Amino acid sequence: MKAVHTELHRSHDPQFFLVRGLVKRTTEQPERVDRLLKGLRDGKHQLVEPTKFGQGPRARIHSPEYLSFLSEAWEAWTALGDSGPEMIGNIHPVRHAATYPTHIVGKLGWHTADTAAPIGPGTWAAACAATDVAVTAAQMVMDGEDATYALCRPPGHHAYRDMAGGFCFLNNSAIAAAHLRQKHERVVILDVDVHHGNGTQGIFYARPDVYTISIHADPVAYYPFVWGYAHEHGEGPGLGTNLNIPLAIGTGDDGYMQALDVARKAIESFAPSALVVALGLDASEHDPLKGLAVTTPGFRRIGQAIAKMGLPTVFVQEGGYLSDILGANLTSVLAGFEEAR
């Protein structure tokens, strides 16, 4: 399996992370990619540079106002003269009878769902590079590759059509799926991150052509708290094309595989012709954002189960934070996929 990667991700180096009222350094650090690259090298995966696709793929998913905001945000922020070293909103209007703001502080609040996506001088460039990585991997599958892996950073599955959040700015998995739709009538996004893919769900919630499935730690006690429940099935034309499978905190390999089997049956019923896997490795028992307890051999089983679905597959990197086992978990899931293919 070929892996798409670019060093341009390093221009995004956030520092701020608010956890239960405590300010810490974020766990979404550039070093994540170094550890994931080691996992790719250990698995002997060929690295491929992305093609630059420009704004088109991003515009299929994100609103013009949001893309304009992200591209101009840092310049407007620094022009204030008394702003901090990162852009973090101090208002969140939640859109109740609200007017779209013209001031950068208002726009920042409008376009961020939480405080976990600080914007710095290189955030826009890194986020755009990540979408090019995802689209390149999707295009390779459209051109005949059986499966590809996109090493995207920053991640994307918490980003809505017009909101950043949860370390995410542009929704790489959604953008990959929309690109695949140029060839495939029906596409599934299977999100195996420990956190619910709320942005992805929101983007496709009323669409019947992309089935969104998320297996994640129960949002009753885990981020994102207000999305990701089992009763959320889609709306309008998309009713029935969203499936959430929340798991009890601490669920291990066997419980996870049972949930994955439920997802497999739903995918078979939908009958897609392509699959995007939003690959969060933070379901690991060793991840610092502990929620689930999947072992390294468990990730191999996950890869094997995904392979047996028999679909052209694009793996898009989502979460998975700094632990000694991060690279090994990536090696394991991709090896399991290749073994079962």
- Residue positions annotated with a catalytic role: 158
The H-or-E segment that residue 213 falls in is strand 210-217
Q: What angle do CA 170, 148, 280 make, to 5 degrees?
A: 50
Strands 16-19 and 22-25: antiparallel
* Cis preceding linkage at 219, omega within 30: no
Strands 274-279 and 242-247: unpaired
Number of Cβ within 10 Å of residue 88's Cβ equals 19
Strands 16-19 and 210-217: unpaired
| Cα dihedral 229/231/233/235 (nearest 10) | -110
134 touches 171 (CB < 8 A):
no
Question: Which CA distances in Å does 64 have to 59, 155, 163, 221, 337?
Answer: 7, 20, 12, 34, 37
